């Protein structure tokens, strides 16, 4: 299978998958210069460097390497060095997604979706102790699990958060959303 090689850093990548991209840096070409990345997160620091692909810098991390990366949000910084000088050439954020093949269990729901599901379970009286704990922790009020008006108010807030997440995911997938059943309506005004 032929995969197109990216020319910019990814904004998300999955642990356990191959990561590959290539950067052209005319002011600091390979092999004279080496491109290095450092990723910073609460779970730790990840570092790797490029290999030369002509005058371009090639990043190629195998699944064996990325499998050891903890899922989470990382800030990254990129530097070039010729052994004497070092310059920053980029910075950003990458979301490392979990390796689903290695996960014993995985719940891909966002925090807002988990709380909304827990509230629905409480309202429908099919909740578990975990649902009560999740709603109580989210609200900071242990009595909220017993008050239906408060649960309904909290449900509305979390339903709005989940709807916003779903809209953002649809836009990220390239789906156009509009106010009329998901259809995009274009309007042109003339002067």
Q: Is 166 found in the same domain as 131?
A: yes
Q: Is 79 found in the same domain as 23?
A: yes
pLDDT (0 to 100) of residue 172: 77
Alpha-carbon span 152 to 150, nearest angstrom:
5
Instruction: Specify whether the CB–CB gap between 35 and 23 falls below 8 A.
Output: yes
Does the pLDDT value for residue 187 go beyond 70? no
Q: Is 28 found in the same domain as 69?
A: yes
Q: Is 161 found in the same domain as 92?
A: no
Q: Is 115 found in the same domain as 93?
A: no
Task: Establish if 104 belongs to a structural domain.
Answer: no
Q: Is 117 found in the same domain as 92?
A: no
Alpha-carbon span 119 to 159, nearest angstrom:
10
Alpha-carbon span 174 to 165, nearest angstrom:
14
Task: Establish if 77 belongs to a structural domain.
Answer: yes
Task: Establish if 131 belongs to a structural domain.
Answer: yes
pLDDT (0 to 100) of residue 132: 63
61: region left, alpha or beta (phi > 0 left; psi from -120 to 50 alpha): beta
Q: How sure is the predictor about 69, in pLDDT bands with cuts at 50, 70 and 90?
A: very high
Confidence (pTM):
0.61
Q: Is 116 found in the same domain as 50?
A: no
Q: Is 93 found in the same domain as 20?
A: yes
Q: Is 139 found in the same domain as 88?
A: no
Task: Establish if 181 belongs to a structural domain.
Answer: no
- Which CATH number is 57's domain given? 2.60.40.10
Task: Establish if 148 belongs to a structural domain.
Answer: yes
The pLDDT tens digits for 110-167 are 889 988 888 888 888 776 666 666 566 455 555 555 667 788 888 899 999 999 998 8
Q: Is 77 found in the same domain as 46?
A: yes
What is the domain range of residue 144?
111-172
Q: Is 85 found in the same domain as 155?
A: no
Alpha-carbon span 22 to 60, nearest angstrom:
9
Q: Is 87 found in the same domain as 32?
A: yes
Choose the weakest-confidence range: 69-83, 84-98, 157-171, 176-190.
Answer: 176-190
DSSP state, residue 5: P
Task: Establish if 33 belongs to a structural domain.
Answer: yes
């Amino acid at each position: 299978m032929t995969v197109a090689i990216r020319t910019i850093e990814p904004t998300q990548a999955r642990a356990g998958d191959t990561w590959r991209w290539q950067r052209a840096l005319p002011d600091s070409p390979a092999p004279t210069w080496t491109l290095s990345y450092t990723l910073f997160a609460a779970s730790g620091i990840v570092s790797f460097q490029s290999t030369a692909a002509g005058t371009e810098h090639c990043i190629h991390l195998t699944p064996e390497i990325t499998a050891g990366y903890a899922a989470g949000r990382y800030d990254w910084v990129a530097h070039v060095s010729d052994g004497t000088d070092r310059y920053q050439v980029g910075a950003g954020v990458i979301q490392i997604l979990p390796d689903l093949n290695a996960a014993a269990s995985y719940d891909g729901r966002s925090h807002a979706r988990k709380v909304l599901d827990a509230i629905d379970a409480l309202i429908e009286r099919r909740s578990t102790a975990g649902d009560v704990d999740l709603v109580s922790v989210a609200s900071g009020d242990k009595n909220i699990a017993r008050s239906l008006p408060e649960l309904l108010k909290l449900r509305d807030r979390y339903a709005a958060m989940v709807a916003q997440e779903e809209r953002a995911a649809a836009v990220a997938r390239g789906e156009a959303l509009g106010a009329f059943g998901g259809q995009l309506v274009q309007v042109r005004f003339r002067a």
